[in-house]
Structure 1
Amino acid sequence: MAEERVHQVPASIDDTIDLLGQQNYLAGRSLATVVFLALRMKRPLFLEGEAGVGKTEIAKALAKALHRPLIRMQCYEGLDISSAVYEWNFPAQMLDIRLSEAAGLDDRERIEASLYSQRHLIRRPVLQALSQEGEVAPVFLIDELDRTDEAFEAFLLEVLSDYQVTIPELGTIRAAEPPIVIITTNRTREIHDALKRRCLYHWVDYPDAAQEMAILQRKVPQAAEALSREVVAYVQKLRMVDLFKNPGVAETIDWATALTELDRLALDPETIADTLGTLLKYQDDIARIKGGEGARILSEVQAELRAAG
C-alpha cells in the first residue's frame, strides 16, 4: 500500500511545493500551481524560458518524487520518426532471413510475420513513453522542442491528442495511461498555437535574489554563506547587463561550486577573471566583464552587502 501511494500525484499546491522541495527543487507558488494542475488534469505541461533556469530539472524532480521512470527525448534539428518513435532492427531481420533460408523454410507469410514482430522493434522515446512497461506511466520529457522543425511538431501534436502511434506492420499502440508530459523550449522559435492549446503553459523566469540564495544553499551547501551572498548578488546584477547570453541558475551553481573548490571565501577581481568561464559561455561576454564592467559590478555588490550588514 505504501509503495502505491508514492506514485500518486500531490493533493494540493502546498504538497506539490513540498514534493519538489524534497528533490531540492525550489518552486515558486505560480510554478507549483501549474505543475499541480497539469498532474491533476492529466495535461501536458509546456515550460518556456531562457536556458539554464531549471525547466528540465522539473521533469527530473517529478520523476524522482513520484517514483516514475523518466523518458527523455532530446530534440534537435532533423529529428525524425525513426529516431523519435521506432525503427526496425534490420541486422537482426537479415539474420532471421538467412537462418530461415538455411533451415529450408519457404513460408513467406510466416517469415514476414516473424521479421516484423515485437522482438525486432526498437522503441525510441515516444514509443517507450506510450508503451507502459511498469505499473505506472512514466514522466515523458520532450526537451527543447524549438530545435525541431514544424513537420515534427505537427506529428507530435497528433501523438499528444490521443496518446497513440500507428506502426503499419503491427497496428496502433495506445497508452494504457497517459504519461506525465513535460515540454520545454528556449524560445529560439515560436511553437504553433495548436500544440500550446493542448498544454498548460508557464514561463520559467530567473529567480529573484532570495530564491537563488536558497537554491545555492541547497545545491552547494559547502559554500561559505558570505561567498554565496556575493555570488548571488553579482549574478543578479550581471543579468541586468546587455550580454549575449545571461547566466542561468545552472551557471550560478557551477560558479559557486568552482569558487568553493578553489577555497575562496569572497570575490575579488582576479578570482572573477580566472573563473568567468564557468559563468559565461561567450568570449565577447567574458571580455566585457573582465574589463571595467566586472569591477564596477563587484564594487556595487560589496557596497550594498556592507550597507545591508
Structure 2
Amino acid sequence: MTARPTRAGLPGSIDDTLALLTGQGYVADRALATVVFLALRMGRPLLLEGEAGVGKTEVAKTLAAALGRRLIRLQCYEGLDLSAAVYEWNHAAQMIAIRLAEAAGETDKASIAADVFSQRYLLRRPLLEALEPQPEGPPVLLVDELDRTDEAFEAFLLEVLADHQITIPELGTVKAAAPPIIVLTSNRTREIHDALKRRCLYHWVDYPDAARELAILRARLPDAPARLAAEVVAFVQALRREDLFKLPGIAETLDWASALVELDAVALDPALVGDTLGVLLKYQDDIAATDAPRIARLIEEARQAARAAE
C-alpha cells in the first residue's frame, strides 16, 4: 500500500502502523495492524476479542504511548452503572449551595436548580472525560472487558460509539469536538450484542505463532538468554496443545520468562519448570495435570522445536 500523509499525527499506512506498534515493543501481525490502521483512519471504534492475556488491552496502551495521547480506561465489571462510567452529581456540594442560596434569601427555584445542575457540580467519569478536549489531542478510550457488563450498559454505549456524545438530562448533550480513539476489549465470556458490533471494526486476537511469540519475548525481555527464550516459547506453544482448563497467554509467557531470568536460568530443566508452574498456569487442576512425566515430555518437545528453529 502506498503511504499517504498522516492526519493529526496518525500513521499514514499499514506499514507505518506496524512500525508505530513495534516502536513501543508491541509485535503485531499484519492483520491486526491493518484493522488498527483502518480504525484510526476511519475514526471507528475497534472491538478486540480473544482469550485473556493475548494482548488486547495492550493495543490501547501502546497506541496512547505511541501517539502521545492520554489513555482513559474504563475497567468494566458486573453491575457497572452510569455513575461510575459516565458521570454523577456532587450531591454534597449541591446541598451546600442550596442552603447557602436559601440563607442569602434566594427564592427563585429555577435559578437555584440551574446553578446546582451546572458543570461545576458535575463529576466526570471515564466516558464523559473521553469526550472533552485534551491538550495533546483526542484521547485513547479503553473500554476493557466489556463482556463483564450487562446488555443495558451496552445499549447506553451505542450513543458514544456512533455519535461520540452523551446526553445528560439536566444539561443536554455533550458532544466531542474531535472523536476519541476508542478500543473495546472482550474475553468473550458472553456474546456482545450485534448492535454494538455493527458500530465497530472487529478483530479476533489469537495466540501468536512461535516466531511472533519469540519476537514479543525478545522485545519485552531483551536480557533473557537466547536459548532460554527459545525454549520458553517452544514449551508454551507445546503446552497450548494440551488439554488444559486455561491455556497460558502471552502475558503468562512473559511473566514466566521474567521469573526464570530472575532465577538465573539459561535453559529449562524439569525441577525448575515444576517449581515455577504457578507463574505460567493459574488453575490448580492444570498445575496438577502438568506432572513430572508431562513436564519432561514437553521440555523435550521444546528443545527439539528450539533446535529446529535455529
> TM-score if structure 2 supplies the norm length?
0.94
The separation in 2 between residues aligned to 1:261 and 1:6, in whole angstroms, is 43
Give the 3 Å change call, closer, same or farther, for CA 16–30 of structure 1 in structure 2.
Answer: same
Please tell me whether the aligned partners of residues 137 and 180 of structure 1 are also in contact (alpha carbons under 8 angstroms). Answer: yes
Residue 198 in 1 paired to residue 199 in 2? yes
Question: What is the match of residue 80 of structure 1?
Answer: 81
Shift of 1:236: 0.4
Question: What is the match of residue 250 of structure 1?
Answer: 251
Shift of 1:135: 5.0
Question: What is the match of residue 237 of structure 2?
Answer: 236
The separation in 2 between residues aligned to 1:148 and 1:81, in whole angstroms, is 12
What is the one-letter code of the residue matched to 1:203?
W
The separation in 2 between residues aligned to 1:18 and 1:123, in whole angstroms, is 35
Give the 3 Å change call, closer, same or farther, for CA 230–135 of structure 1 in structure 2.
Answer: closer
Question: What is the match of residue 92 of structure 1?
Answer: 93
Please tell me whether the aligned partners of residues 7 and 67 of structure 1 are also in contact (alpha carbons under 8 angstroms). Answer: no
Give the aligned length: 305
The separation in 2 between residues aligned to 1:73 and 1:271, in whole angstroms, is 38
Give the 3 Å change call, closer, same or farther, for CA 70–13 of structure 1 in structure 2.
Answer: same
The separation in 2 between residues aligned to 1:17 and 1:257, in whole angstroms, is 25
Shift of 1:302: 2.2
Identity, in percent, stands at 66
The separation in 2 between residues aligned to 1:244 and 1:258, in whole angstroms, is 23
Segments of 5+ residues of structure 2 without an aligned counterpart are 1-5
Question: What is the match of residue 277 of structure 1?
Answer: 278
Please tell me whether the aligned partners of residues 54 and 249 of structure 1 are also in contact (alpha carbons under 8 angstroms). Answer: yes
Please tell me whether the aligned partners of residues 6 and 66 of structure 1 are also in contact (alpha carbons under 8 angstroms). Answer: no
The separation in 1 between residues aligned to 2:275 and 2:309, in whole angstroms, is 28
Out of 212-221 and 298-307, give the one that drifted further.
298-307
Please tell me whether the aligned partners of residues 7 and 68 of structure 1 are also in contact (alpha carbons under 8 angstroms). Answer: no
Please tell me whether the aligned partners of residues 85 and 126 of structure 1 are also in contact (alpha carbons under 8 angstroms). Answer: yes
Aligned 1:35-74 pairs, distance under 5 A = 35-74=36-75
The separation in 1 between residues aligned to 2:307 and 2:48, in whole angstroms, is 38
Query: Deviations for 1:205-253, whole angstroms, at most 9, x for unmatched residues?
Result: 1111111111111111111111001100000000001111111001100
The separation in 1 between residues aligned to 2:306 and 2:50, in whole angstroms, is 29
Shift of 1:159: 2.2
Give the 3 Å change call, closer, same or farther, for CA 298–88 of structure 1 in structure 2.
Answer: same
Please tell me whether the aligned partners of residues 13 and 32 of structure 1 are also in contact (alpha carbons under 8 angstroms). Answer: yes
Query: Deviations for 1:183-217, whole angstroms, at most 9, x for unmatched residues?
Result: 11111111111211111111111111111111111
Give the 3 Å change call, closer, same or farther, for CA 108–308 of structure 1 in structure 2.
Answer: closer
The separation in 2 between residues aligned to 1:158 and 1:299, in whole angstroms, is 54
Shift of 1:130: 1.3
Secondary structure of 1:130's match?
coil
Aligned 1:203-218 pairs, distance under 5 A = 203-218=204-219
What is the one-letter code of the residue matched to 1:166?
T
Please tell me whether the aligned partners of residues 238 and 301 of structure 2 are also in contact (alpha carbons under 8 angstroms). Answer: no
The separation in 1 between residues aligned to 2:58 and 2:276, in whole angstroms, is 25
Shift of 1:308: 5.6
Question: What is the match of residue 11 of structure 1?
Answer: 12
Question: Runs of 4 or more off by more than 4 Å in structure 1?
Answer: 306-309
Give the 3 Å change call, closer, same or farther, for CA 306–198 of structure 1 in structure 2.
Answer: closer
The separation in 2 between residues aligned to 1:175 and 1:93, in whole angstroms, is 26
Segments of 5+ residues of structure 1 without an aligned counterpart are none
Question: What is the match of residue 23 of structure 1?
Answer: 24
Out of 11-20 and 89-98, give the one that drifted further.
89-98
> TM-score if structure 1 supplies the norm length?
0.94
Give the 3 Å change call, closer, same or farther, for CA 232–167 of structure 1 in structure 2.
Answer: same
The separation in 2 between residues aligned to 1:44 and 1:150, in whole angstroms, is 18
The separation in 2 between residues aligned to 1:273 and 1:250, in whole angstroms, is 19
Give the 3 Å change call, closer, same or farther, for CA 255–106 of structure 1 in structure 2.
Answer: same
Give the 3 Å change call, closer, same or farther, for CA 68–57 of structure 1 in structure 2.
Answer: same
Secondary structure of 2:25's match?
coil
The separation in 2 between residues aligned to 1:282 and 1:304, in whole angstroms, is 26
State the Cα RMSD in Å.
1.6
Please tell me whether the aligned partners of residues 50 and 186 of structure 2 are also in contact (alpha carbons under 8 angstroms). Answer: yes
Question: What is the match of residue 137 of structure 1?
Answer: 138
Shift of 1:131: 1.9
The separation in 2 between residues aligned to 1:274 and 1:86, in whole angstroms, is 47
Please tell me whether the aligned partners of residues 53 and 252 of structure 2 are also in contact (alpha carbons under 8 angstroms). Answer: yes
Residue 225 in 1 paired to residue 226 in 2? yes
